[in-house]
Chains A and B, each alone.
Chain A
Amino acid sequence: MAKVKSLADLKRMKEELQSKMDLREKSNDPESLVQIKVAMATCGIASGAKEVMDFLIDVTAKRGIQTVVTQTGCMGYCYAEPTIEVKLPGKDPIVFGDVDIKKADEIVEKYIKNGELVDGIIPVNYKTIDN
């Protein structure tokens, strides 16, 4: 991995990485990837997030859905762990709570495959520093 040698380097790198992420986030191309983030802080893992993440990686591969499954930190919804965020190409990300393996399967089959929402959505209730 190349070292970051100056602020200019860092800025260039940020632009590159951001456009890469933007491409992933803002693309309307139906062929682009489904992104799933699993909240994997201690609380999430204790409620079974790891099993859910393994399941999601496994099942999306088996069913031939192009997906990026990544881990992230605590989303703050401790009452509804494990939580996952699913971002379908061209759509706003949606957070689902209380995702066990059964629920994860339902989300893959209904929401990811057909765009049908399923119960257990957690509405966004905060603003970010960007807006």
Chain B
Amino acid sequence: MHILICGGTGCRASASETIQNNLQETLKIKGLEDEVQVVMTGCFGFCEKGPIVKILPDNTFYTEVKPEDAEEIIEEHIIKGRKVMRLLYTDPEKKEVVSDSKHMNFYKKQIRIALRNCGFINPENIDEYISRDGYAALGKCLTDMTPRLVIDEIKASGLRGRGGGGFPTGLKWEFASKNKADQKYVVCNADEGDPGAFMDRSILEGDPHSVLEAMAICAYTMGATKGVIYIRAEYPLAIQRLKVAIKQAREYGLLGNDILGSGFSFDVEMRYGAGAFVCGEETALIHSMEGLRGEPTVKPPFPAESGYNGKPTNVNNVETFANIPVIINKGAAWFNKIGTEKSAGTKVFALAGKINNVGLIEVPMGTTLREVIYEIGGGIKDGKKFKAVQTGGPSGGCLTEKHLDTPIDFDNLIAVGSMMGSGGMIVMDEDDCMVSMAKFYLDFTVEESCGKCTPCRVGNKRLYELLNKITEGKGTKEDLDLLRNLSTVIKDTSLCGLGQTSPNPVLSTIENFYDEYIAHVEDHKCPAGQCKALMQYVIDPELCVGCTLCARNCPVDCIAGERKEAHVIDAASCIKCGTCMDKCKFNAISIK
């Protein structure tokens, strides 16, 4: 038998280590230490009801266990085989006691559809993909379904583009299928560029065949015979795995001429991008594929009409494609039941920042931020306070405490001033300055603007300069109005998604953290203590004992004072390195 104890940060804070010791002690006393092992695990994600203790092999799941419960667990459960009822989890809705974690609602929060094979199959072995229903959806489409039926199925599923825009995929396919041409193209957009997002890379590295299969299905619906995957050259492993997958699929006859004896032919090639954010925009991506500068052009004409080489082209994102085979195999109705009314299915998020369980998660649309951050993500690092979460990368906005219970879907995020984007989620705590955060994203967009439109090329640069001025304590209240006006102009007058959304981080931080901006421009203070220029180290004369340690360690000799008397920092010469604060043994130095 095994006893598992959660060793996640939350459970550790409520004494899970003591519980482990107590269990081991009791086992020793009872002479069971060789038969029962006590093991500490990673976070169960159920921090709200921690500490968690789980007994194997019967999967009994005890919640809110206290160190003094250890004896009873051993005595009753391990020796007598009776579950300790009072420690079992009670389902809040059904009011029933659940003893087996597999039946707990909580563990149904994540459903892996796009990630179904990631971390499960060997991505370089097509047999493993086939054994998990791989290429069955393509087979079904080619043999039993007309292109029209396939499009109707995708439309009925309610699948929307996972790259950020959220455009209905079925509709996009329909447009591309209606345009007549001698050659059409299917393009997979694998130009993942949001800082902090890596779901597309993970799908391509973990399950490349799912994307190839979906591209073939898409090609069948629109009458294309060629597919192109546009991928960043900075994803070498994903490229290599795709190459292996394409080769294997060709060997098996799942790519190439007359696939599965249906008369349908399709093959895929790859194009490498140099890593420009703007090339995630479909018209810019197509120009880059053609060997031109990666600059967007006006739509219409939409790629469905005139895309790659002037031919009808359908561009979908990696995660969108990864959903397709499952929809065909399990049916649109099955897929549509997951998620919310207007956003069906699941979304993959890359959790990053000040969160305990940094990682890749997949949740049904409509899951709240609170569930994602506190239950799946294991809460904020080091027990700090949650401040904001940035979704949608440089195009998105930040969401705060008051948005924690908003169900996440395409429309809700836009309604609260952010957006889904490709699914990056960067969590920030009380130590993060929102002005600096906005500045970080503007730095990124200034770098990534293609330069075609003046508002984006020049305007974003000006936004960045204003933010920089504010973080240096030189900003004024008028600058805040200027930021707002300029942001609105950039949004209204830029051609593509990059410029239309790049001021979002500025606008949403002004909206949600106006006080913090005011503190910067009026009090010349950074409440989070992150803007170096606004920090001031001061010595509390009450606490200082005059040990001279700070003065001796100061690299610029800006601390003065006699032995055994309170010292003073000369703010004008201080370089804010923080050495004095680290050295002080009396906590007499603080940041103001």
Interface residues, chain A, CB within 8 Å of chain B? 1, 3-7, 9-11, 13-14, 17-18, 20-21, 37, 39-43, 45, 70-80, 83, 85, 97, 116-129
The CA-CA distance from A97 to B43 in the complex, in Å, is 11
* Residue picked from B117, B143, B205, B326, most chain A C-beta under 10 Å: B205
- Say yes or no: is B42 at the interface (Cβ < 8 Å to chain A): yes
Mark interface residues in B1-33 (1 if CB within 8 Å of A CB, else 0): 010101100000000000000000000000000
Q: Interface with A: B83-91, B173-181, B284-292, B352-360, which one?
A: B352-360
User: What B residues does A5 contact at CB under 8 A?
Assistant: 253, 260-261
Q: Does A120 lie within 8 Å of B237, measured CB to CB?
A: no
The CA-CA distance from A125 to B356 in the complex, in Å, is 15
The CA-CA distance from A5 to B115 in the complex, in Å, is 28
Q: Does A79 lie within 8 Å of B359, measured CB to CB?
A: yes
Mark interface residues in B308-333 (1 if CB within 8 Å of A CB, else 0): 00000000000000000010001000
Of B39, B41, B119, B358, the contact of A79 (CB 8 Å cutoff): B358
A122's nearest neighbour on chain B, judged by CB, is B42
Closest beta carbon of chain A to B375's beta carbon, Å: 9
CB-based closest 6 A-B pairs: A73-B206, A75-B119, A126-B110, A17-B131, A121-B41, A76-B360
Q: Does B111 lie within 8 Å of A119, measured CB to CB?
A: no
Main SS of chain B's interface residues? mixed
Q: Does A41 lie within 8 Å of B237, measured CB to CB?
A: yes
Q: Does B260 lie within 8 Å of A6, measured CB to CB?
A: yes
Of A14, A76, A78, the contact of B115 (CB 8 Å cutoff): A76
Q: Does B39 lie within 8 Å of A121, measured CB to CB?
A: yes
Mark interface residues in B106-146 (1 if CB within 8 Å of A CB, else 0): 01111111011111111111011011011110011011000
- A7-B260, A78-B359 in contact; A71/B122 too (CB < 8 A)? yes
User: What A residues does B128 contact at CB under 8 A?
Assistant: 17, 21
In the complex, how many residues of chain B place their beta carbon closer than 8 angstroms to a beta carbon of chain A? 71
The CA-CA distance from A100 to B110 in the complex, in Å, is 28
Q: Does B119 lie within 8 Å of A72, measured CB to CB?
A: yes
A128's nearest neighbour on chain B, judged by CB, is B112
- Say yes or no: is B37 at the interface (Cβ < 8 Å to chain A): yes
- Say yes or no: is B436 at the interface (Cβ < 8 Å to chain A): no
- A72-B119, A77-B359 in contact; A126/B111 too (CB < 8 A)? yes
The CA-CA distance from A74 to B115 in the complex, in Å, is 9
- A75-B118, A77-B359 in contact; A10/B42 too (CB < 8 A)? no
Q: Does B260 lie within 8 Å of A10, measured CB to CB?
A: yes
Q: Does A72 lie within 8 Å of B123, measured CB to CB?
A: yes
The CA-CA distance from A3 to B251 in the complex, in Å, is 6
Q: Does B237 lie within 8 Å of A72, measured CB to CB?
A: no
- Say yes or no: is B305 at the interface (Cβ < 8 Å to chain A): no
Of A6, A13, A73, A119, the contact of B40 (CB 8 Å cutoff): A119
Q: Does B41 lie within 8 Å of A119, measured CB to CB?
A: yes
Q: Does A21 lie within 8 Å of B118, measured CB to CB?
A: no
The CA-CA distance from A1 to B358 in the complex, in Å, is 41
